[in-house]
Structure 1
Amino acid sequence: MASSIFRRGLVAAQSVSRSFSTTGAVLANQAKVMEMSPEKFDNYFIDYMSRPEIDGWELRKALTELHSVDVIPDVKVIEASLRACRRLNDFGLTVRFLESLRMKCGNKPQVYAWLISEVKPVLEELGIPTLEEIGYDKPEFFVPDPDFWWEKTWYKDYGLDKMPGYKHFA
């Protein structure tokens, strides 16, 4: 009886220590990446994404790490990421990566437009549409609540001025 409890406790302790050690390695790697110069930072991600044996988990890990750093990635890093997504034929991850780029640009749409114009040849080469081409730049099922504050220009921006009953909202 006591040996059974001891074994269960040992297994639980091993799994907890394993998860802590894995988390610590990821965080240590992120701290190491943050201390790099911009050129080394870019080369780190370009080399990592350009590996032919990269799998889906490693690519997601790299893109998560790239997104968690407080910088907008260089165009060459974006191109390497898009090529890695295409090599794995992971369209969903490609779209999420483009969405994360858009989020990283914040309230500066001209920065996102510039990034897309720079990587447009690679997008066309790989057959990847932009967010605007697939309609992911606007909410799909959003209908504004007339009782909630809503900027009048947004109706036109989101195409809601063509809705039946538009006058009710505006």
Structure 2
Amino acid sequence: MLRITAGKLANALRGTVSGTSRVAAVRCLHGTEESAEEFDKRYEKYFSREGIDGWEIRKGMNDLLGMDLVPSPKIIEAGLRAARRVNDIALAIRWLEGCKDKCGDHQATLYPFLLEKISPTLKELGVPTIEELGYDKPELALKSVYDL
């Protein structure tokens, strides 16, 4: 009985919440809506915490990648530094891949801009880009029939 009622309630709530209000709800978790600068500072502070471990870094990154936004270069750099502090190069590369995927349809313009902004940090930390590793092209992919 409880399961049926909970299912109906979830369906009713799912129909009333639109896409824009979900994003607003995520941004309003702390009581008031925060500006973009405050949002950036909050996540920079989160990734810069002393004693942060790999699980907490992954949680912060997953939370950011689950939102309807592309992280700012400052947040990307803070995430890279946090991954480097716990000595997890794979996490740093996956973070770059996730940020690239979040660019969506604007990947041709937005991703090069992000790389330009974060390239000094990448060089400082010794983190290679996805393109340097060859991860941007599938290794065993067949040529497209349209390219023949």
* Range of TM-score over shorter length: 0.7 to 0.9
Deviation beyond 4 Å, 4+ runs, structure 1: 28-31
Unaligned runs of 5+ in 1: 1-27, 153-169
Larger RCO (CA within 8 A; separation ≥ 6): 2
- 1:134, CA displacement in angstroms? 0.4
Name the CA distance, whole Å, in 2 between partners of 1:131 and 1:35.
35
- 1:30, CA displacement in angstroms? 6.8
Q: Does the residue aligned with 1:53 lie in a helix, a strand or coil? A: coil
Name the CA distance, whole Å, in 2 between partners of 1:29 and 1:91.
29
Q: Report the counterpart of residue 79 of structure 1 in structure 2.
A: 77
TM-score (norm 2): 0.75
- 1:50, CA displacement in angstroms? 0.2
Q: CA 1:54–1:29 in structure 2 vs 1: closer, same or farther (change >3 Å)? A: farther
The answer to whether the aligner puts 1:32 opposite 2:29 as a matched pair is: yes
CA RMSD of aligned residues (A): 2.0
Larger radius of gyration: 1
Q: CA 1:35–1:140 in structure 2 vs 1: closer, same or farther (change >3 Å)? A: farther
- 1:111, CA displacement in angstroms? 0.6
- 1:79, CA displacement in angstroms? 0.8
Q: Report the counterpart of residue 122 of structure 1 in structure 2.
A: 121
Q: Is the 8 A contact 2:28 2:34 kept in 1?
A: no
- Aligned residue runs from structure 1 range 135-146, under 5 A: 135-144=134-143
TM-score (norm 1): 0.66
Task: Tell me which amino acid in the other structure corresponds to 1:92.
Answer: A
Q: Report the counterpart of residue 100 of structure 1 in structure 2.
A: 98
Deviations 1:121-166 (A, max 9, x none): 0000000011110001111221247xxxx432xxxxxxxxxxxxxx
Q: Is the 8 A contact 1:55 1:88 kept in 2?
A: yes
- 1:92, CA displacement in angstroms? 1.1
Q: Report the counterpart of residue 60 of structure 1 in structure 2.
A: 58
Unaligned runs of 5+ in 2: 1-24
Q: Is the 8 A contact 1:30 1:65 kept in 2?
A: no
The answer to whether the aligner puts 1:131 opposite 2:130 as a matched pair is: yes
Q: Is the 8 A contact 1:72 1:101 kept in 2?
A: yes
Name the CA distance, whole Å, in 1 between partners of 2:86 and 2:26.
24
